[in-house]
Structure 1
Amino acid sequence: MLWVLLLLLLFIFQAATILICEYKRPAKSVAWLSILFIFPIIGFIMYVFIAREYVRRKRVHVLASPYDDKREFQGATSKVGSVSQNGVDSFLAGEQRLREWLRHVPHAPITAWNRVEVLTNADVAYEAMLQEIRKAQHHIHFEFYTIRDDAIGLRFQQALLEKAKEGVIVRVTYDGIGSHSLSKAYTETMKRAGIAVQPFLKPLIAFFDKRLNYRNHRKIVVVDGLVGFVGGINIGNEYVGGDPKLGFWRDTHLMLQGDSVYDLQRTFLTDWFFVSGERLVGHSYYPSHSVQESSFVQVISSGPDVRWDAIQEMYFAGLIAAKQRIWMTTPYFIPDPGIIMALKSAAISGVDVRIILPFKADSLIVQYASRSFLQELLQVGVRFYLYRKGFIHAKVIIVDDIMATSGTANVDLRSFFSNFELNAVMFDEKVIRRLESDFEMDLKECTEVRLDEFERRSRSEKRKERIARLLSPLF
């Protein structure tokens, strides 16, 4: 009987540890307790190695924030400053709560002098990136969650090799888990050409350093500190329809010029410092620009290395500010309780809430988890549409005519609390209209989910949804 008592005490200790460590995330606690119940001891070992709260690691927190105390680009251009504040105050007139929240996001100023181009789908985005890479004179900063060693990957590799041969400084970083299939030959070829290449945590290192659950999901290209790219597109054949299972791949990327590029640069240099220990400063990384267009942009980064869940809170602030519409596209829909309540409140109050999700899935468990939220939201008037042309991977939210956001973050718990993410928030009628046009075109490729039909789904489907939802905080 003694060994039974010892096992019981061990189980209680493990459960208590999870509850204490995850007290801020009840859903995550339930998910890990379920795993612990099904797989005693093994479940706790899994928790220790892949779910430890990242921000508590003081060494990592310090390494991840080398540029927080001083904006290295201050003085690079006379255009940054009060102009953006006065202009956005006018654009967000009547939205005091939203305006004040946006003002207080750490290290994310609303910049005024920008040119924004929406790049719909990878074929357009890749050509724009390659064109700017070929123009590089001083440096190219290249950061992606996934880089494939395939035809698309080789195109970018060749472009970077050519610029390195010309004497341009090229730095490349990629996520060790998202790019786990990237061959050593691919990276070694670049290194031999003088390109600095660093992974953001190799899978084995991440496992033993208890950070497997935290991934750098950012996609950043910065050329000469003057042109930047951010969005949902990685480097690989599937993004141009090369995956036979998913087929056509619908995505959204942004090309930025002007003040906002300084914030893309700062984010890249922060990540680069973490992976290489190299702190890069100087005017050459934040050069003066000549953009004359007044397009308001705020670049917001978030990650488990800080205590401010900036992108999740930006989404929430935007949703509760909506008066006429919320149009959302996301490939993964696993919202936290705050986002659910914001969507419900908006729909009940008469806001036109429409959400586009994929019909085809690249992950069945995530798809079932996403669909587990549909019924309760359909019941209050939220409208869901399933994209059938292929796989939709775009991450876009449009709120009324006052703001739109696009970038790397999905509407899911992983993007909100576990991944390193990066979004651009835009306060520009022209950009909003363009994203609105893309959304309307996507609707033509969708079928709407009807509440009465959805409620008639089989018990088996409902059971799969419940299980997936229970485990959703882990995906």
Structure 2
Amino acid sequence: MKPTTDKHMIDRAISRLACPLLLAASLALAGCGSLPRIVPDMGIQPAKTIQIKGGRGILSAEQSQAVLDKFKNAKQENLILEKHLAVEEAITGSPLVAGNKVTLLIDGPATYASMFSAIREARDHINMETYIFENDDTGKQFADLLIDKQKHGVQVNLMYDSVGTLNTPREFFQPLIDAGVQVLEFNPVNPALARKGWEVNQRDHRKLLIVDGTTAFVGGINISSVYSSGSFRKFRKKDDEGKDMAPWRDTQVRMDGPVAAEFQKMFIDTWEKQHGPQLAARNYYPKIASKGGEIVRGIGSSPEDPYSVIYATFISAIQHAESLVYLTNAYFIPDPQLRAALKDAVKRGVDVRLMLPGKSDSALVLYASHSFYTELLEGGVRIYERQDALLHSKTALIDGVWSTIGSTNLDWRSFVYNQEINAVILGPQFGAQLQALFDRDLAASKEITLEAWKDRPISDRMKEFGAGLWARWL
């Protein structure tokens, strides 16, 4: 069973474009969004004190420095970490938050188990924002659990994307509504239901769960049974014909601590901009004591913003990389500036590696991604394709100290048309965990060499060319 995705929708739409009128309508629908030009060291003052927020407010300069010192090992690593912190703060404007416990979650089973545990322990409220909420076994498990918590006095607020749930009947959400759950459909496809302008091309691609204002989950995992098995297991599920089913490979992060408030702000801001019903009075911003030693920054982007802060953060972090850039991404359709940043990093001696899917739920996106391989391989970028699993993960590791996990794909749709959300975790400890995960994916991947790539069939080249023409709108 395949979930509904915007990639599937676009595949089908393009295959049906049979006349110039429909083609023009499709292009008009895509909008005229653009990406900002990111200049190295934009707005950065080298002497600026890096400010850190804790559970009780902004830390003093001395307290902030003490927090940073815990993350430092070698002298060179100190300089790299502080540089990334300064770069990011100058671009995002969002606070760096200390005192968090961060847990890396690999694939669906581990993620759902942690989510279920957090939901069961909820005492005040649950805020959930998702692109896909399937009417399947996993979706029903979540729905039943949310209904149970609502009946026991925990306020549940659920926001789902209209396109992402096209295959989910509206009747599926009725028991939630009947139980008192606040349910909000993001940018309804049906213009008659639109609460603001009909902006059907602007989608909510975020995957966010906040429990009691103290715990937040962010990553690439939707609510769907396709995630019911792990991608590193030796034994695979079988389909109705007895064939092995490709598991979905994805990554999520759980954050317990003060940074949950930053993600809470993003959820409530989106709810209000969508003119959702008045949220029930709850303790959405409780005082939170330190839960751990990790420092995290929450970053969100919206098509309503002047430009994508997540995009600017990615580009700047790559431009300032000194040793390595390891990107894992499901839908890789890089714009010219991103491609240039990767190739320039290689010229500086940076080890640049891309972990991309060997198979995808969208053939069109896969071929569009392939259309950029030759340029990148010739530029010294190393490309790997994950085998025996459908790679849906969106992570990055830079210089071993800058890590991010979220919903953002490295494509035009994520950076221009979608609501996205990422967590940036700073420091070598978490970086080592993400490095180990990247190495596990490497062991299950095939490297694409320039020599082998140049020998691919002419039929593939033609498909890449055709798909590449649509890269801007996928």
TM range (shorter): 0.7 to 0.9
Indicate whether 1:171 and 2:157 are aligned: yes
Aligned equivalents of 2:279 and 2:93: distance in 1?
18
Structure 1 equivalent of residue 365 of structure 2: 366
Structure 1 equivalent of residue 205 of structure 2: 217
Aligned equivalents of 1:392 and 1:53: distance in 2?
27
How far apart are 1:450 and its partner, in Å?
1.3
> Counterparts of 1:97-176 in structure 2 under 5 Å?
98-106=84-92, 108-176=94-162
Aligned equivalents of 1:453 and 1:374: distance in 2?
11
SS of equivalent residue, structure 2 residue 163: coil
> Counterparts of 1:59-458 in structure 2 under 5 Å?
77-82=55-60, 85-86=64-65, 87-88=67-68, 93-95=78-80, 98-106=84-92, 108-205=94-191, 209-241=197-229, 247-278=246-277, 284-458=283-457
Aligned equivalents of 1:289 and 1:158: distance in 2?
29
Aligned equivalents of 2:249 and 2:159: distance in 1?
25
Using structure 1 for the length normalisation, give the TM-score. 0.83
How far apart are 1:430 and its partner, in Å?
1.9
Q: Percent identity?
A: 31
Aligned equivalents of 1:151 and 1:369: distance in 2?
33
Aligned equivalents of 1:279 and 1:109: distance in 2?
27
Q: Deviation digits for residues 321-347 of structure 1, max 9, x if unmatched?
A: 111111111011111111101110111
How far apart are 1:318 and its partner, in Å?
1.1
CA contact 1:122–1:240 (8 Å) conserved in 2: yes
Q: Deviation digits for residues 58-100 of structure 1, max 9, x if unmatched?
A: xxxxxxxxxxxxxxxx999425434685345985743566433
CA contact 2:34–2:416 (8 Å) conserved in 1: no
The change in CA–CA distance for 1:106 and 1:436 in structure 2 (over 3 A counts) is closer
Amino acid at match of 1:325: L
Which stretch has the larger CA shift, 442-451 or 198-207? 198-207
Which stretch has the larger CA shift, 189-198 or 105-114? 105-114
How far apart are 1:44 and its partner, in Å?
2.9
SS of equivalent residue, structure 1 residue 130: helix
Aligned equivalents of 2:457 and 2:29: distance in 1?
37
Aligned equivalents of 1:471 and 1:206: distance in 2?
29
Aligned equivalents of 2:403 and 2:298: distance in 1?
12
Report how many residues are paired. Answer: 423
How far apart are 1:185 and its partner, in Å?
2.0
Q: Deviation digits for residues 232-285 of structure 1, max 9, x if unmatched?
A: 000001122479586211110000011210111011111111234456598811
CA contact 1:408–1:423 (8 Å) conserved in 2: yes
Amino acid at match of 1:312: Y
Aligned equivalents of 1:123 and 1:200: distance in 2?
27
CA contact 2:259–2:298 (8 Å) conserved in 1: yes
The change in CA–CA distance for 1:384 and 1:134 in structure 2 (over 3 A counts) is same
The change in CA–CA distance for 1:386 and 1:106 in structure 2 (over 3 A counts) is closer
SS of equivalent residue, structure 2 residue 203: coil
How far apart are 1:215 and its partner, in Å?
0.6
Structure 2 equivalent of residue 42 of structure 1: 22
Higher helix share: 1
Structure 1 equivalent of residue 10 of structure 2: none
Using structure 2 for the length normalisation, give the TM-score. 0.83
Which stretch has the larger CA shift, 87-96 or 228-237? 87-96
Aligned equivalents of 2:30 and 2:189: distance in 1?
11
Aligned equivalents of 2:54 and 2:341: distance in 1?
39
SS of equivalent residue, structure 1 residue 269: helix
Unaligned runs of 5+ in 1: 1-33, 56-73
Aligned equivalents of 2:167 and 2:212: distance in 1?
29
Aligned equivalents of 2:245 and 2:361: distance in 1?
7
Q: Aligned Cα RMSD in Å?
A: 2.8
> Counterparts of 1:13-28 in structure 2 under 5 Å?
none
Aligned equivalents of 2:315 and 2:199: distance in 1?
27
How far apart are 1:464 and its partner, in Å?
1.1
